[in-house]
Structure 1
Amino acid sequence: MKKFSLLFILLVIVGTTQTQAQFKVEDVTLPNTVTFSGEDLTINGAGMREKFFFDIYAGGLYLKKKNTQANSIAAADETMAIKLHIVSGMMSRSKMESALRDGFKKSTKGNTSSLDERINTFVGFIKEEIEEGQIYDIVYEQGKGSVIYKDGVEKGYVEGLDFKKALFNIWIGDNPADKDLKNEMLGAF
């Protein structure tokens, strides 16, 4: 009986730890922490990107420490990440490319001339068709640049803090892709 009680307590502790190590966004489970470049990041907030009432992806913002100030997050020269968990077959490679290009125009108020070459390079890293269930990590790694990972595999990176600022402002800037998602990433809900 003593062994059974000990096993039960251990299972409860493990189960509780696993539950606390995840963040639920509708039917998608995002991790509470991720590690990039040897740096641990914690989820700041997360939500669902919707378009015309359809769920497209669950998105989470990961930082070294919680922050609700979009401008300071975008300008910070420190490792951070945005995780995109694709939940719809409506998201294709061409739609992602179009969304990124449109997002850069909005985040820079149409002034992309100094970023155009790097935008083309970054968008070019998305070569394969996008499928439901895939996970993209858009990570700014301090000392390296803006890196894109697909299902945990690095696809390439672009240097420059100015590029990172424009990239992260696609989601958390003054004219974001989805205002509700921005607020959720910033922990406002």
Structure 2
Amino acid sequence: MKRAFIAFLLTVASMVTVSAQTTEISDVVLQNSVDEAGTKLQLNGAGVRSKYFLSLYVGSLYLAEKSSDANKVLYSNKMKMIQLDIISSLITAEKMEETVRAGFKNSLGDKLPTLQSEIDSFIAVFGEEIEVGDIFKFVTSGKELKAYKNGKLLTTVEGEEFQKALFGIWLGNKPADKKLKSLMLGK
């Protein structure tokens, strides 16, 4: 009886430990910390991107040091990552490209032409069909941005201004989704 009770306690303790290491949002399990190129990043916040009452993807922000200040995040040269977990079959490569281009326009305003070649290079990330369960990661070290799909490196784009513009799609003054911005900033 005593051994059964100890086994039960160990089982409960291991479940609590596992759940403390992850966060679940809309059936997507996110790691509370990840290692990117030798840097430990913590889940700062996450939420669901919705449009017209439809859930499209889970967007999450990982930072070396947690912050609720969008400008601090955007202008920091410390490693950071945005992860998009696709949860809707309504997202297609064409729609994602269109949405990201609109996001860059909102993020950059009249400065858009100065980064057009970098944007065009980056948009190739959405060249293949997108399916439910696909995971996009945009990781920046302050000097370059690496874009991954399902763990495969698709492109690297140089330049701080491009990185700020990309992260500005979700964290800028005209974010894709104000509620998601707030959730990503842990508010």
SS at structure 2 position matched to 1:109: helix
Does 2:123 match 1:123? yes
8 Å CA contact retained: 2:142, 2:163: no
SS at structure 1 position matched to 2:109: coil
Please name the residue that 1:167 is paired with: 166
Please name the residue that 2:111 is paired with: 111
8 Å CA contact retained: 2:142, 2:160: no
The 4+ residue runs of structure 1 with deviation greater than 6 A are none
The AA in structure 2 aligned to 1:130 is I
Deviations 1:83-128 (A, max 9, x none): 1110001111111111111111100123212211010111112221
CA distance in 2, matches of 1:110, 1:91: 28
The AA in structure 1 aligned to 2:91 is M
SS at structure 2 position matched to 1:163: helix
CA distance in 2, matches of 1:6, 1:38: 37
CA distance in 2, matches of 1:26, 1:126: 23
Please name the residue that 1:76 is paired with: 76
Deviation at 1:152, TM superposition (A): 1.3
Point out the more displaced range, 133-142 or 44-53: 133-142
8 Å CA contact retained: 1:36, 1:141: no
CA distance in 2, matches of 1:91, 1:54: 11
Kindly indicate which of the two structures has a greater share of residues assigned to helix. 2
CA distance in 2, matches of 1:32, 1:53: 27
SS at structure 2 position matched to 1:129: coil
Deviation at 1:40, TM superposition (A): 1.0
Deviation at 1:142, TM superposition (A): 4.2
Structure 1 residue runs of 5 or longer lacking an equivalent are none
Point out the more displaced range, 133-142 or 165-174: 133-142
Please name the residue that 1:43 is paired with: 43
Point out the more displaced range, 40-49 or 21-30: 21-30
Change (3 A) 1:165 1:142: closer
TM-score, reference length from structure 1? 0.94
Deviation at 1:3, TM superposition (A): 4.0
Point out the more displaced range, 102-111 or 169-178: 102-111
Please name the residue that 1:177 is paired with: 176
CA distance in 1, matches of 2:58, 2:110: 27
Does 2:61 match 1:67? no
Structure 2 residue runs of 5 or longer lacking an equivalent are none
Q: Percent identity?
A: 39
Point out the more displaced range, 29-38 or 172-181: 29-38
Please name the residue that 1:99 is paired with: 99
Aligned residues: 187
Deviations 1:66-87 (A, max 9, x none): 1011011011111101111100
CA distance in 2, matches of 1:128, 1:142: 27
Deviations 1:166-189 (A, max 9, x none): 11010010000000000111111x
